[in-house]
Amino acid sequence: MTAAILVRYGEIALKGKNRMFFEKTLLENIKFALKGLGARVVRMHGRLLIMGAADEEEEITRRLSRVFGVVSVSSVETAPLDLEAIKEKALEIMERSLLPGDSFKVEARRSNKSFPLTSPELNRIIGGAILEKYPRLKVDLENPSFQLFIEVGAREAYIYHDHVAGPGGLPVGSSGRALLLLSGGIDSPVAGWMAMKRGLRLEALHFHSYPFTGLRSREKVIDLCRILSRYGGKMQLHLVNVAGIQKEIRASCPAALGIILLRRMMMRIAGQISRSRGLQALVTGESLGQVASQTLESMIAIDSVTSMLILRPLLGMDKHEIVALAEKTGTYEISIRPYEDCCTLFLPRHPATRPRLEKVVQAEAALDAGGLTAAALENMETMLIED
């Protein structure tokens, strides 16, 4: 038994000249997502058709629901290009799925112009056949509770009635490449997910502080990357140890500025990695005003060390919205594992919440920022993560 699944991709059809590139990217991403399932992807006019084994249909649909650019998917019946055959399948679907009290509408779409009937004619004929079998059924063209779709393709017709919403967005890779600053917390994986949703392909960068943070927090970040790779494909994860930098800051700078100075160092490191790997932007999980380092003043002081574009997809979101998305994407369970990701040893009792840039720059003069950055990068580890 084979199953046919019709995939719709809305937004990218609007993109005119770039459409070919978007479609190609989406097709590649879908093929990657379906790897190992033995499903076939067929390009149709403005649609994709996935042909797979019936017992894998659920898994195919689940994986498609993680491919950005997919607007919706439908399980479809196929029929030869023959009116009677189409009618028969249409009635079969009605028989199977119609609920008492439903009103209905037939919506045909003919991309194969050599088919002898036009879309309105098809609507009328199939609608008539349905009414003949269910004489008490109401037609409702405005707001039907049951819609029957017919797509007439080049070789076959596809008949179906329900849509499962896809994730929407743009195919990963169609908007460029960026570096995600990934901590073990709840926010940054969600920020990564949102960046991928708008078509960015990501590499991830995690700062740890071994031996002040443990090996299990590293496993946590690897697991988070594994979840993100379900949406964005194989992912490079870079691990940089900032223990040395933290010690240096602790020894030479005012404690209240410790966090902001560390973040500036992290941005320098992130900027260098991005440039050397040809990534065009940084993505962080900050949202405005949540904690000390997320005030506008802090962000200004942090951003001023790099000329890289810094994207903060969560800026407009409340915590509960972020948590809801983390739960939906599957990162929440991993993020709440109790391993510390920032050693409390280095947390000042009273961090500066609105640091003035001059003060920060002044304090930083005690550090050899270039040397510390280079030393941290020298020991960077990189691994390729795949679910």
Partner 1 sequence: MCLVAEIYLDNSATTRPFDEVIELHSRIQKENYGNPSSSHARGVAAEKLLNESRRSIALLLKCREEEIYFTSGGTEANNLALKGAAYRRRRRGNHIITTQIEHPSVLNCCRKLEEEGFKVTFLPVDRQGYIDLDQLSRALRNETILVSTIHVNNEIGTIQPVEKIGALIKSRNPQTLYHVDGVQSFAKIPAAVHRWQADLYSCSAHKIHGPKGAGALWVRKGVTLQPLFQGGDQERALRPGTENTAAVAGFGLAARLSVAHMEESAAQLYRLKEKLCRGLHKAGVEFYVNGPPPEEAAPHIINLSFPGIKAEVLLRILEEEDIYASPGSACHSRRPDPSHVLAAIGLDEEKLSGSLRFSFSTFNNEGEIDRVVERIASGVRELRMLAGTD
Which spans of this chain sit near partner 1 (rule: CB under 8 A)?
210-212, 214-216, 247, 250-251, 255, 338, 343-346, 348-349
Q: What is the nearest approach in angstroms of partner 1 to the Cβ of residue 215?
A: 8
Q: What is the nearest approach in angstroms of partner 1 to the Cβ of residue 217?
A: 11
d(CA 15, CA 216): 44
> What residues are paired with 204 via a beta bridge?
180, 237
Q: What is the nearest approach in angstroms of partner 1 to the Cβ of residue 365?
A: 18
Q: What is the nearest approach in angstroms of partner 1 to the Cβ of residue 241?
A: 11
Tell me the three state secondary structure of residue 33.
Answer: helix
> What residues are paired with 44 via a beta bridge?
47
d(CA 109, CA 242): 58
User: What are the DSSP calls for 150-162, one per residue?
Assistant: EEE-SSEEEEE--
Beta-carbon neighbour count of residue 185 at 10 Å?
Answer: 18
Q: Which of 319, 316, 317, 282 is nearest to 302 (CA)?
A: 282
The contacts of residue 160 (CB under 8 Å, 6+ apart) are 6, 74, 75, 76, 77, 93, 148, 149
Q: What is the nearest approach in angstroms of partner 1 to the Cβ of residue 249?
A: 11
Nearer to partner 1 (CB atom), residue 10 or residue 254: 254
Q: What is the nearest approach in angstroms of partner 1 to the Cβ of residue 379?
A: 13
Q: What is the nearest approach in angstroms of partner 1 to the Cβ of residue 155?
A: 57
Nearer to partner 1 (CB atom), residue 99 or residue 251: 251
Structural tokens at position 307:
């000329």
Q: What is the nearest approach in angstroms of partner 1 to the Cβ of residue 246?
A: 9
Nearer to partner 1 (CB atom), residue 24 or residue 337: 337
Question: Are 302 and 293 a contacting pair, CB within 8 Å?
Answer: yes
User: What are the DSSP calls for 240-308, one per residue?
Assistant: EE-HHHHHHHHHHS-GGGHHHHHHHHHHHHHHHHHHHHT--EEE----TTSSGGGSHHHHHHHHTT--S
Q: What is the nearest approach in angstroms of partner 1 to the Cβ of residue 53?
A: 37
Question: Are 38 and 53 a contacting pair, CB within 8 Å?
Answer: yes
Beta-carbon neighbour count of residue 194 at 10 Å?
Answer: 21
Nearer to partner 1 (CB atom), residue 193 or residue 346: 346
d(CA 261, CA 285): 18
User: What are the DSSP calls for 88-143, one per residue?
Assistant: HHHHHHHHHH--TT-EEEEEEEE--TTSSS-HHHHHHHHHHHHHHHSTTPEE-SSS
d(CA 310, CA 170): 20
Nearer to partner 1 (CB atom), residue 51 or residue 343: 343
Nearer to partner 1 (CB atom), residue 183 or residue 213: 213
Q: What is the nearest approach in angstroms of partner 1 to the Cβ of residue 228?
A: 24
Nearer to partner 1 (CB atom), residue 109 or residue 337: 337
The total number of residues written for the chain in this structure: 387
Q: Which of 174, 164, 153, 167 is nearest to 49 (CA)?
A: 153
